[in-house]
Amino acid sequence: MDIEKVNSMDFGEFVDVFGNVVERCPLIAAAVRSQCLFSDLEDLEQHFFAFTDALPQSGQEGVLRCHPDLAGRELQRGELSAESQREQSAAGLTSLGAAERLWLAELNAQYRARFGFPFMPAARLSDRAAVPRELARRLHCPPAQELSTALGEVKKIGRRRLADLLGSHAAEP
Ligand code: GUN
C-alpha cells in the first residue's frame, strides 16, 4: 500500500485499517485521520506519535492499559488482536511451558501493581528468555522513567505495525 492509497481512504476505511496501530486505540487513528493528508510513512508515524505525546499522563497510562499482558489471560482465551498475537508468537510467548507462564504471570502482576499498566516490551524484538529478564530489571525503575520507557515501546510497536501495513522495511531494526 502506498501513501496515495492511504490519503485516498475515507474516514471509516482509515480507522478500520489503522485502528490497531496503537493496540485497541482506534480513537488515535480517528484523530490522526481528522487532521490532514500525509507526505509519507514517516509523516503518518509522526502523527500517531504526536497524538500520544500530547496526551496528559492519565491518557498515556490509559493507552498503555489497553495492551494485554504478555502470555496473559487474553492469550489463553484466544482474545488477542491479530497484531498482538503475531508479536507474542514471534517472541515465543505463545508456546511457554506451565512453569515459564506462571513465572511471567507473577512478574506481570508485580509490574502492574507497581506501575498501574502492563509491562510493554516491543515483543517482536525480544524473545521468551529476554522478556522476563527485562521485566524483572524494569520492575525497579522509577515510575516516571518507566512511563516514558513504556511509551517509547508503544512507538516501536506502532512503527512496525505501520510498516507491516504499508509493506515497508523502513522499521527493520
Ligand atoms: N509488545 C508487543 N505487543 C505487545 C502487546 O500486545 N502487549 C504488551 N504488553 N506488550 C507488547
pLDDT classification of 47: cutoffs 50, 70, 90: very high
Q: How far is CA 119 from CA 2, 4, 102, in A?
A: 33, 36, 15
pLDDT of 8 > 50? The answer is: yes
- Kindly list the distances between the CA atom of residue 102 and the CA atoms of 33, 44, 130, 133, 149, in Å, as whole numbers in the listed order: 41, 39, 16, 14, 25
Q: How far is the CA of 8 from the centre of ligand 1 (A)?
A: 30
At 13, list the grid cell: 476505511
Q: Which of 70, 119, 153 for mutating ligand 1's site (highest number of atoms within 8 Å of CB)? A: 70
Higher pLDDT, 129 or 74: 74
Identify whether the C-beta of residue 71 lies closer than 8 Å to the C-beta of residue 88.
yes
Told to judge if 47 belongs to the known catalytic residues of this protein, a careful annotator would answer: no
Q: What is the band of 5 on the pLDDT scale with cuts at 50, 70, 90?
A: very high
pLDDT at 115 over 60: yes
Distance 97 CA to ligand 1 centre (A): 19
Q: Which CATH class is domain 70-154?
A: mainly alpha
Kindly indicate whether the ipTM for this predicted assembly is greater than 0.90, answering yes or no.
Answer: yes
Q: How far is CA 103 from CA 37, 74, 78, 85, in A?
A: 46, 17, 20, 20
Percent of the chain at pLDDT exceeding 70: 96
Mean pLDDT score, 3-27: 97
Contact between 68 and 74 under an 8 Å Cβ cutoff? The reply is yes
Domain ranges of the chain: 70-154
Over residues 149-172, mean pLDDT: 88
For residues 74-82, average pLDDT: 97
Give the nearest ligand 1 atom to 67 CA: 7
**pLDDT higher than threshold 80 for residue 172:** no
Q: How confident is the model at residue 122 (pLDDT cuts 50, 70, 90)?
A: confident
Q: What is the mean pLDDT of residues 42-57?
A: 96
pLDDT at 173 over 50: no
Instruction: Output the ligand 1 site: residues, CB below 6 A.
Output: 23, 67-70, 84, 87, 118-123, 157
